[in-house]
Amino acid sequence: MSRIKESNCGYSIAHKFKSNLYKEEFIEKEFQLPQMAYMDDTTWIGLTKTNLEKILTIANSFYKLNQIQINKEKSRLMLSNAAKQTCTDDIIRINYGDKVLVITPVNQKESIRILGIWFNMKKDRKYNIQQTREEITNYIRNIKFKSLTNKQITYVYNMVIIPRIEYKLQLTHITRSELNNISSKFQIAFKYKLNLNRAAPNALMNIHKIYGIKNL
């Protein structure tokens, strides 16, 4: 028999059980579980420095109200081209509630990750496209010396690799020829695993009733 109690500092779980089925004696044990949660990175967007500081003030009051502790020192700042022109200093001071952050803005060519997608203020696509190439290359390396059927290879590619690539490229403009170039390595590796001629048409692999590989 178990029971759970909620308190201001967390939860307590108590459980009563018999150590010996032939006796009527019960043993009760209780455990305290602290109320704790973790939050992911948060992204704030402001048109101006003043606007951003107002947003951070509201956020800071929310953190205090809910007793949320965050590491403000890990904050990173990205500036648009317009904001970059108005900021002549390399170091910017931003009021984050009751704390003043001294931040060096990220280089506009440098990409930073937000929820698994990489951004840079120059809108450079090279890094994102390179990541998709690495997804394919890593998958080919993993299956190269493994005894897998064509169905197993296809399933992982369709259900794992393709969704990962789609997620990473959802904000990246990319041409059909670039997509074909990215997936060509997998097509060659797939033919090799199945002992198919390299000159076999790629369309053969996309037919659902034959191999059913999704077209990137």
101 & 77 share domain: yes
Mean pLDDT of 99-107: 88
Q: Where in the chain does DSSP place strands (E)?
A: 2-7, 10-17, 27-34, 92-96, 99-103, 112-114, 117-119
Whether 64 is covered by a domain: the verdict is yes
- Cβ count near 159 (within 10 Å): 10
28 & 58 share domain: no
Amino acid 95: pLDDT: 92
Domain count, the chain: 3
Average pLDDT, the chain: 83
28 pLDDT above the threshold of 60: yes
How many whole angstroms separate alpha carbon 98 and alpha carbon 119?
29
Amino acid 86: pLDDT: 59
168 & 105 share domain: no
pLDDT tier at 190, thresholds 50, 70, 90? confident
Q: What is the pLDDT of residues 57-86, one digit of tens each?
A: 999 999 888 878 888 888 889 888 766 655
Whether 12 is covered by a domain: the verdict is yes
Burial class (CB in 10 A: 0-12, 13-18, 19+), 112: middle
Whether 41 is covered by a domain: the verdict is no
The SS3 call for residue 46 is: coil
Give me the domain span that covers residue 11.
2-34
Q: What pTM did the predictor assign?
A: 0.63
Whether 115 is covered by a domain: the verdict is no
Whether 215 is covered by a domain: the verdict is no
Q: What is the pLDDT of residues 147-177, one digit of tens each?
A: 888 888 889 999 999 999 989 888 888 888 8
Whether 7 is covered by a domain: the verdict is yes
Q: What is the DSSP string of 104-144?
A: PPPPTT--EEETTEEE-TT---HHHHHHHHHHHHHHHHHHT
Whether 120 is covered by a domain: the verdict is no
Q: What is the pLDDT of residues 109-153, one digit of tens each?
A: 888 888 888 888 888 888 888 888 999 999 999 988 888 888 888
| Residue where a domain stops, chosen among 59, 77, 109 | 109
Range in 12-26, 94-108, 198-212 with the lowest mean pLDDT: 198-212
Mean pLDDT of 78-97: 75
152 & 200 share domain: yes
87 & 129 share domain: no
Amino acid 88: pLDDT: 57
Amino acid 2: pLDDT: 61
74 & 138 share domain: no
53 & 29 share domain: no
Whether 196 is covered by a domain: the verdict is yes
Q: What is the pLDDT of residues 199-215, one digit of tens each?
A: 777 777 777 778 888 88
26 & 61 share domain: no
129 & 75 share domain: no
